A = this chain, B = another copy of it.
């Protein structure tokens, strides 16, 4: 029981059978075909040797299969993590250099340790503070940055940079060095992949191919582009035409070993590792939850933290780049029928076989082909209409999204996401610090009370009923004081104020002090304070204090009770104006 909690594999492996095996094996073959070019491409995007993408698709997948809870999540190198890796490391060393590679392994191991620690300490809730608009703006901006960073491979020039300005500047300064052969290959693959994505499915179903086969053939388009352009490069000896090829990829499996233990490096990479961990986790959990729900299954987010952490730790000790759960590969894995996390382990086996057998061939793969597959793949990340949609729904959500998007594009991924998170928290706190409240009156003949500004309602100039539409806590406590005292200052004939609290879920210590201050000040001004519809848990707490005794007025069960009682009190005994 205890082992099963930490190692879910122990639980489901007992029920493993031939049927599940055949489903997992089929999914693994399909995902392997998709993963080989992606693994190479994302390693190059991260500024790492191509084989590190393959290494990141071996041990990490096996570890995820042991510790993970999602049957469908396809772990491995992903585009956004690759972009963030490049951004984090480019200040430390030259891309591709031994120091750079060494730092990448530290980054992976550190991300792994952070994720495991968060899982063990059950800190998964921390990702809740990455709001949807921030994540969405960040992912869209990352997609644009990744696509732009691949243009140099398609143009056959040298250019680098981690924001739109640097990337554009680099490309423009190099436009005279464009390699026509490379450009033709790049545009050819790009056109082919786009046509496959947009039309192939329709064409195939039109000629009678079944929908599922057609879907698989569409997914296989990148691998056929890889095969064709590799054969072209080999047959026509394109290296002589200065077409950049992937080049020698060492055959064989990665060595296992500890990453560098340089303390300065570890501390320096901490912020970047934290961001990569959080972003990777949010994306992985979102896709895993969505896919699990389709089969009415559930995943355990805190166990996912541990599983993704083990996968990254595995990458760090086996020469792999940082890994995460990939969106499109997971969907393919799911649709191909993956039944247990073992599908991932079988994929790792497929990648190992490919590494042992195919490296001679992969050496002839043009980088322009990889760039074209990346550009098409990240197209699904870019969702610009979401900006307009979010802005229309809520200005503050829209603002957080736009700021994240623009800062990521124009400055860097780190600054973009951090500013987005801080802004979204700040806007949320600002909003709740000025909560909506409304003076309400009785809808004639009913027990309902509505906003006096919107409805024809009954009121009494000696009684004001204020409905508060937010929990009361320190950030809005003084706002409440202002609102109530302004109400009291406006009408000299006022004798009673009733706060109706059906939307008040919490009254914290600051708000309690404010209520005490309001009560005392209203008392000085000859006005009684009452409360109505206070919730059970809130009331339980108030009863522990002497607020209820100090309250000049009463606690009413409903707003209507308050209305009736005060109307009677006023009728029975209109008190004289207090002398001031």
| A contact set with B: CB distance below 8 Å | 125, 127-133, 289-290, 293-298, 301, 389-390, 392-394, 396-398, 401, 424-425, 428-436, 469-471, 473-479, 481-482, 485-486, 488-489, 502-503, 505-506, 508-510, 512-514, 517, 520-521, 524-525, 535, 537, 541, 544-545, 580
A-B contact pairs, 6 of them (CB 8 A): A294-B521, A301-B482, A393-B512, A428-B508, A470-B505, A502-B502
Instruction: Point out the residue from B128, B473, B506 that lies within 8 Å of A478, measured CB to CB.
Output: B128
- A294 adjacent to B477 (CB under 8 Å): no
- A580 adjacent to B296 (CB under 8 Å): yes
- B503 adjacent to A131 (CB under 8 Å): no
Q: Shortest distance in angstroms between A221's beta carbon and chain B's nearest beta carbon?
A: 28
Q: A290-B517, A473-B428 are in contact. Are A524 and B296 (CB under 8 A)?
A: yes
Q: Shortest distance in angstroms between A39's beta carbon and chain B's nearest beta carbon?
A: 30
Measured CB to CB, the nearest residue on chain B to A478 is B128
Q: Shortest distance in angstroms between A134's beta carbon and chain B's nearest beta carbon?
A: 8
Instruction: Point out the residue from B127, B297, B431, B475 that lies within 8 Å of A128, measured CB to CB.
Output: B475
Measured CB to CB, the nearest residue on chain B to A527 is B296
- Contacts A132-B509, A301-B482, A432-B471 known; 15 new A-B pairs at CB < 8 A: A130-B474, A131-B475, A131-B477, A133-B510, A289-B485, A293-B525, A296-B488, A298-B486, A393-B541, A393-B545, A394-B508, A394-B509, A424-B474, A428-B474, A436-B537
Instruction: Point out the residue from B131, B429, B482, B503 that lies within 8 Å of A474, measured CB to CB.
Output: B131
Cα(A471)–Cα(B428), bound, Å: 11
Q: Shortest distance in angstroms between A88's beta carbon and chain B's nearest beta carbon?
A: 25
Q: A425-B429, A580-B296 are in contact. Are A471 and B470 (CB under 8 A)?
A: yes
Cα(A476)–Cα(B295), bound, Å: 24
Q: Shortest distance in angstroms between A502's beta carbon and chain B's nearest beta carbon?
A: 6
- A296 adjacent to B489 (CB under 8 Å): yes
Cα(A148)–Cα(B486), bound, Å: 42
- A393 adjacent to B509 (CB under 8 Å): yes
Instruction: Point out the residue from B125, B481, B502, B520 that lies within 8 Å of A433, measured CB to CB.
Output: B125
Q: Shortest distance in angstroms between A300's beta carbon and chain B's nearest beta carbon?
A: 10
Cα(A486)–Cα(B292), bound, Å: 12
Instruction: Point out the residue from B393, B434, B435 that lies within 8 Å of A125, measured CB to CB.
Output: B434
Cα(A441)–Cα(B397), bound, Å: 35
Cα(A514)–Cα(B478), bound, Å: 32
Cα(A297)–Cα(B295), bound, Å: 64
- B509 adjacent to A293 (CB under 8 Å): no
Residues on B with C-beta less than 8 A from A509 are 131-133, 390, 393-394, 397-398, 401
Q: Shortest distance in angstroms between A328's beta carbon and chain B's nearest beta carbon?
A: 18
Residues on B with C-beta less than 8 A from A429 are 129, 425
Measured CB to CB, the nearest residue on chain B to A512 is B393
Cα(A520)–Cα(B293), bound, Å: 9
- Give the 4 A-B residue pairs with the shortest CB-CB distance, closest first: A131-B474, A293-B521, A397-B509, A132-B510
- B393 adjacent to A132 (CB under 8 Å): no
Measured CB to CB, the nearest residue on chain B to A427 is B508
Residues on B with C-beta less than 8 A from A289 are 481, 485, 517
- B128 adjacent to A477 (CB under 8 Å): yes
Q: A425-B429, A509-B390, A510-B133 are in contact. Are A524 and B294 (CB under 8 A)?
A: yes
Instruction: Point out the residue from B127, B392, B435, B580 that lies within 8 Å of A505, measured CB to CB.
Output: B435
Residues on B with C-beta less than 8 A from A474 are 128-133, 424, 428
- B128 adjacent to A476 (CB under 8 Å): yes
Residues on B with C-beta less than 8 A from A479 are 125, 128
Residues on B with C-beta less than 8 A from A436 are 505, 537
Q: A289-B481, A469-B505 are in contact. Are A489 and B394 (CB under 8 A)?
A: no
- B397 adjacent to A508 (CB under 8 Å): yes
Residues on B with C-beta less than 8 A from A525 are 293, 296
- A521 adjacent to B476 (CB under 8 Å): no
- B506 adjacent to A503 (CB under 8 Å): no
